[in-house]
């Protein structure tokens, strides 16, 4: 059995390594092939304005460092490891780095869950990094209620948002300029391409002959492209569900609930990976949640999912809240349905 695993491991290494051919692979992406042309280049050609953090190109080496910072919070600089951005979190504790929706302009939480289930992705409280370079607005809507003026300069600026996230959201520190630059290069390297958007054949055709379009056609195409991707994710804080409205899982989908528990709750809480609250797929964890289900206590899933917790001295690993746009009330009921079943196991 071990030999079989070893052989499988070697085959995987070879296959994956063959995909990762380094610099040349990054460059290919910027070919002016209509499918692979970057969204930003298309929009600029159609007369859109450059964003405040516009980057002409990216350096694949820096992008690689950026990815390492995102996954691990630190990288090797010369002989030494750089200081971790945060002692408590890495970016991927709250953010996915890949696609989260089938349709690139979608924001619906139940379709996000469907896509996550299809692709076995974590179901996280923060927006994905996929296409973040193409967004123009960050910390939207209700985040001002939580962070106040801290996000004043971050709302329109990707680098500003990264800094706020590093310092406040991850209970860490401001990034050094090289770290910020590396992460920006990673985001630039993974900007949206025209193939990532759900475009019609007519639109694709128009992109392939973009130089030949007249001004009106360009304006129309720009408008249609602008509506085909997410410029900023909505973030509406929800109040804790009132006690009388709670169904305690009645009619909830247990399979969906299990997925949410495994991919949202246990993503951080499994054996206390990120936090002190240790959870497991065991009866006792479920019974603990059920005991508090009708309360407004932190151990009530209705409360904690909507309110989260705050960082405080001695306990900087807080739980971010799930906004209405990231988890729906029905999904909370699905989770409750699963917990009820688990408790009776």
Partner 1 sequence: MKKLVFVALLIIAGFNCFGQDVTQTFNSTRIINSHSTEILRKKMWEYRIEHRFGDIAGANGGGQTAFGFDQAADIRMAMEYGITDKLMAGLGRCKGIGRPYRSLCDLFLAGRFLTQNKEKRVPVSAALVQTLYYTYMKQVEDLQSVAYFDNKLSRRVAYSTQLVLTRKFSDRLSLALMPTYIHRNYVSLSDLNDLFSVGFAVNLKVRKSMGIILEYFANVESENFRSDALNSLGVGFEFVTNGHNFHINLTNARGFGELQYVALTQENWLKGQFRLGFSISRNFKIKKS
Residues 169-188 that bind partner 1 (CB under 8 A): 171-173
Candidate residues 3, 4, 5, 145; the one interacting with partner 1 per rule CB under 8 A: 5
Residues 235-274 that bind partner 1 (CB under 8 A): 270-273
User: Which CB atom, from 285 or from 323, has the smaller least distance to partner 1?
Assistant: 285
Task: Give me the 10-29 binding string for partner 1, x by CB under 8 A, dash otherwise.
Answer: --xx--xx--x---------
Residue 88 as a binder of partner 1 (CB under 8 A): the answer is yes
Q: Give min distance, CB of 136 to partner 1, in A.
A: 30
Residue 77 as a binder of partner 1 (CB under 8 A): the answer is no
Residues 119-138 that bind partner 1 (CB under 8 A): none
Asked if residues 75 and 81 have their Cβ atoms less than 8 Å apart, the reply is: yes
Own/partner contacts of 261-264, CB < 8 Å, gap of 24 or more, are 261/335, 261/338, 261/339, 261/342, 263/116, 263/120, 263/121, 263/122, 263/123, 264/122, 264/123, 264/124, 264/125, 264/322, 264/327
Residue closest to 100 by CA, chosen among 120, 84, 81, 83: 120
Other Cβ atoms within 10 Å of 217 Cβ, number:
14
Task: Give me the 291-310 binding string for partner 1, x by CB under 8 A, dash otherwise.
Answer: x-------------------
Residue 312 as a binder of partner 1 (CB under 8 A): the answer is no
SS3 state of residue 191:
coil
Sign of CA dihedral 34, 37, 39, 40: negative
Q: Give min distance, CB of 80 to partner 1, in A.
A: 14
User: Which CB atom, from 29 or from 84, has the smaller least distance to partner 1?
Assistant: 84
Q: Give min distance, CB of 84 to partner 1, in A.
A: 6
Element (H or E) spanning 183, and its range?
helix 177-189
Candidate residues 156, 316, 328, 341; the one interacting with partner 1 per rule CB under 8 A: 316
Q: Give min distance, CB of 177 to partner 1, in A.
A: 16
Residues with Cβ < 8 Å from 95, sequence gap 6 or more? Answer: 124, 126, 127, 128, 129
Residue 79 as a binder of partner 1 (CB under 8 A): the answer is no
Asked if residues 286 and 343 have their Cβ atoms less than 8 Å apart, the reply is: yes
Give residue for tokens 């964890």.
285
How far is residue 245's CA from residue 222's CA, in Å, rounded to a whole number? 44
Residue 97 as a binder of partner 1 (CB under 8 A): the answer is no
- Give the residues lining the site for partner 1 (CB under 8 A): 5, 9, 12-13, 16-17, 20, 83-84, 86-88, 171-173, 270-273, 276-278, 280, 282-285, 287-288, 291, 314-317
């Amino acid at each position: 059995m071990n030999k079989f695993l070893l052989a499988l491991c070697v085959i995987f290494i070879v296959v994956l390594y063959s995909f990762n051919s380094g610099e040349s692979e990054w460059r290919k992406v910027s070919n002016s092939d209509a499918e692979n042309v970057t969204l930003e280049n298309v929009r600029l050609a159609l007369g859109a304005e450059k964003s405040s953090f516009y980057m002409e190109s990216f350096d694949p080496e820096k992008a690689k460092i950026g990815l390492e910072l995102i996954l691990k919070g630190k990288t090797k600089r010369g002989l030494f490891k750089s200081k971790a951005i945060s002692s408590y979190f890495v970016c991927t504790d709250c953010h996915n780095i890949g696609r989260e929706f089938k349709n690139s302009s979608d924001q619906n939480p139940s379709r996000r869950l469907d896509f996550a289930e299809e692709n076995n992705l974590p179901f996280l409280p923060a927006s994905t990094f996929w296409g973040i370079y193409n967004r123009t607005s960050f910390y939207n809507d209700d985040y001002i209620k939580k962070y106040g003026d801290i996000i004043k300069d971050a709302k329109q600026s990707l680098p500003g948002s990264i800094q706020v996230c590093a310092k406040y959201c991850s209970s860490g520190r401001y990034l050094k300029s090289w770290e910020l630059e590396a992460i920006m290069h990673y985001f630039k390297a993974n900007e949206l391409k025209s193939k990532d958007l759900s475009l019609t054949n007519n639109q694709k055709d128009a992109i392939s002959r973009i130089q030949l379009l007249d001004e009106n056609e360009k304006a129309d195409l720009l408008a249609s492209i602008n509506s085909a991707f997410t410029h900023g994710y909505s973030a509406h804080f929800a109040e804790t569900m009132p006690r009388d409205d709670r169904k305690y899982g009645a009619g909830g989908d247990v399979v969906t609930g299990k997925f949410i528990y495994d991919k949202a709750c246990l993503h951080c809480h499994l054996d206390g990976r990120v936090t002190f609250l240790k959870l497991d797929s065991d009866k006792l964890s479920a019974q603990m949640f059920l005991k508090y289900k009708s309360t407004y206590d932190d151990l009530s899933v209705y409360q904690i999912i909507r309110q989260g917790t705050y960082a405080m001295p001695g306990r900087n690993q807080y739980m971010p809240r799930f906004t209405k746009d990231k988890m729906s009330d029905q999904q909370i009921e699905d989770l409750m349905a699963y917990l009820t079943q688990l408790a009776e196991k």
